[in-house]
Structure 1
Amino acid sequence: MIASVRGQVRHVGLDNVVVEVGGVGLLVHTTPATAADCRTGTEVTLETSMVVREESLTLYGFPGQDAKALFEQVQTVSGVGPRLALAMLSVHAPDAVRRAIAQGDLVALTKVPGIGRKSAERLVLELKDRILALGVDSADLATRPTPEAAGEADAAQVRAALEGLGWSVKQSTDAVSTVTSSPDAPRDVSGILRAALRELGR
């Protein structure tokens, strides 16, 4: 597995660079911003993630470990491949992606080409707890919703997810209301969703 590359830039494209390493030119796919920072004839170091397919080996490059880690993390979500993960980092900085997921900001996530509302909801549902567990930048804490607003945002995400799975608006609303009004109601999106599914299955 190629974890990083360092060498002379031989070619700069719109969203890729060719880096010569040991006499071999490696094509590395990047965001347009990363490619724009490279200059032909200069040396560059990129953190890389290799995606192995039956018919190809593809390198994706990043200026630092932070972007690389997020690139790999979002691909753990069903339906998110390397191209879509790279598109997310082309539109938003890593911290902005994490903040959008942590806060359930579907508007920010759907600004990425290829991500619709359902895909955005899936990203939030599957990654929010992990993003929050890792912590967010202190500057983001000031923009985090109040517990009340966050709770309603979580409930709204679960209602939308249930409707996407085929339940009616009323069924989804009733199930979420029953779950969230319980004294021992779960406090995270995945927990609310699991409890609502159990409620609907009765």
Structure 2
Amino acid sequence: MITHIEGKLVEKNPTDVVIDCNGVGYFINISLHTFAQIPDQENLKLYTYLHVREDAQSLYGFSSKSEREIFKLLISVSGIGTNTARTMLSSLSPDQIKEGIAGGDVALIQSVKGIGIKTAQRVIIDLKDKVLKVYGLDELSITTNNTGKDEALSALDVLGFNKKQSEKVVEKILQTQPDASVEQIIKEALKNL
């Protein structure tokens, strides 16, 4: 398997890139998350996953090993193909997917276009134990943080703040203060919005 490709960035699109590696151009499918992480520099390294089917071979690229592992876990679930997994990683960050699965957040997983309630439930049932074990997450802290984060975002939305901007600010707050209460998150967010 090809584990990574490093070379000259020839073409960059929201869904794919072309990397020239010693005269050979590799067409690599990417998520919007990876697209946002790619710097506009000539040299680029992506961690890859080669998906082989009877009629095609497709190369998928990721900005981090963590994102690649989440992708591999997602495609191991019945009903989740490579395109659906890529859509999930385009709609949610790898951390959001990990936390959503670990916390049993069906609504978060279902918020991805093309994912119904049964598929979202299957993803959580199939992957919850693996995510908790592989990433060493504590189920209780994930659930608590998820609830506090959601409540804070809901409150900021009611106050009229931009949803995407609020999410970024709340994410930063939770990275520095993971045990912050809903009130603390809102107070800190108001200072930064």
C-alpha contact 2:132 2:138 (8 A) present in aligned 1? no
* DSSP-derived class of the 1:25 partner: strand
Q: 5+ residue gaps in structure 1?
A: 147-202
CA pair 7-67 structure 1, distance change in 2 beyond 3 A: same
Aligned equivalent of 2:13: 13
Aligned equivalent of 1:129: 129
* DSSP-derived class of the 1:89 partner: helix
TM-score normalised by structure 1 residue count: 0.66
Aligned equivalent of 1:176: none
CA pair 24-112 structure 1, distance change in 2 beyond 3 A: same
| 1:143 matched to 2:120 | no
| Structure 1 residue runs of 4 or more that deviate by more than 3 Å after TM superposition | 36-41
* Amino acid corresponding to residue 72 of structure 2 in structure 1: E
Q: How many residues align?
A: 146
Shift of 1:37: 4.1
Aligned equivalent of 2:31: 31
Which structure is larger by alpha-carbon Rg, 1 or 2? 1
* Amino acid corresponding to residue 143 of structure 1 in structure 2: T
- Per-residue CA deviation, residues 80-135 of structure 1 (Å, 9 max, x unaligned), is 11111111111111121111111111110011111110000101111112222232
Aligned equivalent of 2:80: 80
Percent of aligned pairs with the same amino acid: 34
* DSSP-derived class of the 1:77 partner: coil
* DSSP-derived class of the 2:144 partner: coil
Aligned equivalent of 2:49: 49
What is the root-mean-square deviation in Å for CA atoms of aligned residues?
Answer: 2.4
Tell me how far apart the structure 1 counterparts of residues 59 and 18 of structure 2 sit (CA, whole Å): 11
Aligned equivalent of 1:167: none
